[in-house]
A and B are shown apart, each in its own frame.
Chain A
Amino acid sequence: MSIDRETARRVAKLARIAVPDDRLDGLASEFNAILGFVEQLGEVDVEGVDPMVSVTPMQLKRRDDVVTDGNQQDAVLANAPDAREGFFAVPKVVE
């Protein structure tokens, strides 16, 4: 499995990271080095083995579906790069 320039471009897009065109070939070759390294997992006989979900067998706890926290608008917005009138602000979204 070899990654080409177009695949690198697609992955960068999926990851929402702007990659300039002149970096795509370099990126593709780095991906190939890493994926070439992990390729050896193909040698392992995994027949009948379940994928690990959790290192310690545990059941996630449940709790009553009630409000336990809230009313912290100022704290929630305190670190926003742009907040206005009690909301996070982002560039206009036109669909």
Chain B
Amino acid sequence: MTEEVRTEFHQLMEEVRADLVQMGGMVAEGVSAVTAALLAGDIASADQIITADDELDLLSLEAEEKCVQLLALQQPVAVDLRAILTDLRMISEIERSGDLVTNIAKAVVRLLGAELVPRVRGLLDRMREQAVRLTAMAMDAYADRDAGLAAVLDEIDDVLDDLHGQYLDAVFASQNAGHIDTQQAVQLAVVGRFYERIGDHAVNIAQRVEFLVTGQLPEHIGANRARARREQDEM
């Protein structure tokens, strides 16, 4: 690559990186906004959040196009290739988190009029806090190429998983106490699952960052085992 082409290449990669950080910000804000809408039963806000997801979809398509352009025109190798592959996988992870925010927004409408007891409200707020935190940390690890931070994210996600468990107990306790009907309880349980999934996507992003920095994925350990078994069978 000539010097000029290289600069252009890195500038485009930098743009993709900025796009991804922006998308992460949109998810973090989306989770906060949709939780506020859910707790306040605010349908107008929920509608706005559903519309705002189009923006995220557009941005992810644009970022994807940039990645394809980089792959097709510059034929990157080694670290650069890994970086673009990471970006491509990350785009879909963040985009999925955005869809989950939209799913929660749709549930706001279905849950209108449901009485959320303080314990359920408190746990929703704590799940919001953890989901936002995990997303921001994953984006931090990505933007700073911080494999160490990425490695601890999985453990931090346990907090959210634990809250999710407590939340389900609280929802069904509230149903048993007659505050909400079965349909509402199921809807609330599904909402809890969405928060938990947003955390999982953040962990996936962190794993991609680890791959980017170290060239290793957690799946590699399992894959190596499978490969060893296959070789043994052949012998």
Question: Do chains A and B stick together as partners?
Answer: no
Which A residues form the contact surface with B (CB < 8 A)? Answer: none
